[in-house]
């Protein structure tokens, strides 16, 4: 699928699959994943634990090779780790002996660039997320939400067009998580025209309300081996606010995703039984 004007999607997956080889036999994590994510789009992945959501992010980033299919980012086949991506994980993973500012500057050092040339950008990012007064602090002096804001600044330092976020707010309390959702939308550039300065974001979460409040589309994955069970367009107006969560449409979309998850579980269960009944079937891969 192409964007209007013939521009290729930011992320293009064509029948991507992943099988892990283990001492006890093969484990199929992902099967036949085909998906386009357009430039400037915010797409969330939801699904049961172990369905391959995190594996899919690592494949897109080039941190792990797929065992089937094709993966393209900005028109280029992904064969190795790519440089034009920022990654944010559930744990902030800040270096405790470095200041917040020096943690944010780390990607410049790792890329062989002068941190001094990125100092002002790092300070601007910290101010953007409300951490301007904490640049000289150590991570232990920050709350969990503040540490996660610093990790997002670190991912944004080199201005990557693509952000891959693996449950970045999963360890936060509910109120802080809600605040971070709205903060992320502000950083992403909600309110700007699609295709302008917005980044492309692929966001993994176990929270359906979080996926609905953030996303343009929600991709629902089945139980392992992970397949795409459904794709739900989120037609809520932007910018989204606290009041959005109380709307009838928000409830309607959340319910549709819950039901898609249930259908995905049922299909995966039926497929696993059918495969196990075949001679030499995939009982081990389904365990």
Residue 244: Cβ-neighbour burial (10 angstroms; 0-12, 13-18, 19+): middle
Structure confidence by residue, pLDDT tens digits, 126-175: 998 889 999 999 999 999 889 999 999 999 999 888 999 999 988 888 88
What is the CB neighbour count within 10 angstroms for residue 100? 25
Say what the pLDDT of residue 264 is: 66
Query: Residue 7: its pLDDT value, please?
Result: 55
The whole-number average pLDDT for the span 1-10 is 56
Residue 60: pLDDT band with limits 50, 70, 90:
very high
ω before 127 within 30° of 0 (cis)? no
Q: What does the pLDDT average to over 269-277?
A: 58
Give the per-residue pLDDT at 283: 35
Note whether 30 and 52 are within 8 A (CB).
yes
**Predicted TM-score of the model (pTM):** 0.85
User: Helices then strands (H, E): number in the chain?
Assistant: 9, 10
pLDDT tens, residue by residue, 193-248? 454 578 899 999 999 999 999 999 999 999 989 999 999 999 999 999 889 999 99
Alpha-carbon separation of residue 183 from 145, 150, 239 (angstroms): 11, 12, 12
Kindly state the average pLDDT of the residues 14-40.
93
User: Does the structure show a pLDDT above 50 at 3?
Assistant: no
At residue 242, φ and ψ (nearest 5 deg) are -60, -35
Q: How many degrees, rounded to 5, is the angle at CA 37 between CA 46 and CA 71?
A: 95
The pLDDT score that the predictor gives to residue 198 is 86
pLDDT at 5 over 70: no
pLDDT digits (tens, 9 = 90+) for 66-116: 999 999 998 889 988 888 899 998 889 999 999 999 999 999 999 899 999
Q: Where are the domains of the chain?
A: 92-160
């Amino acid at each position: 699928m192409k964007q209007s004007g013939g521009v290729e999607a930011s992320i293009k997956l064509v029948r991507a699959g992943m099988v892990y080889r283990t001492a006890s036999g093969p484990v199929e994590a992902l099967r036949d994943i085909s998906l386009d994510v357009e430039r400037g789009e915010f797409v969330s992945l939801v699904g049961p634990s172990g369905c391959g959501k995190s594996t899919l992010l690592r494949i897109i980033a080039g941190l792990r090779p797929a065992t089937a299919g094709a993966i393209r980012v900005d028109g280029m086949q992904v064969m190795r780790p790519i440089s034009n991506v920022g990654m944010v994980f559930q744990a902030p993973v800040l270096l405790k002996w470095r200041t917040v500012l020096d943690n944010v500057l780390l990607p410049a050092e790792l890329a062989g660039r002068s941190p001094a040339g990125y100092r002002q950008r790092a300070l601007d990012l910290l101010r953007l997320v409300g951490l301007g007064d904490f640049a000289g602090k150590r991570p232990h002096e920050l709350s969990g939400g503040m540490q996660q804001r610093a990790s997002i600044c670190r991912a944004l330092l080199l201005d990557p067009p693509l952000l891959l976020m693996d449950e970045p707010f999963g360890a936060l309390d509910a109120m802080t998580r809600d605040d971070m959702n709205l903060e992320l939308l502000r950083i992403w550039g909600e309110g700007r025209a699609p295709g302008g300065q917005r980044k492309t974001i692929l966001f993994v979460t176990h929270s359906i309300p979080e996926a609905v409040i953030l996303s343009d589309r929600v991709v629902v994955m089945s139980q392992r081996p992970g397949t795409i069970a459904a794709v739900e367009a989120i037609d809520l107006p932007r910018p989204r606010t606290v009041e959005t969560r109380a709307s009838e449409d928000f409830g309607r979309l959340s319910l549709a995703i819950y039901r898609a998850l249930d259908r995905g579980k049922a299909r995966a269960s039926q497929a696993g039984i059918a495969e196990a009944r075949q001679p030499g079937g995939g009982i081990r891969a389904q365990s």
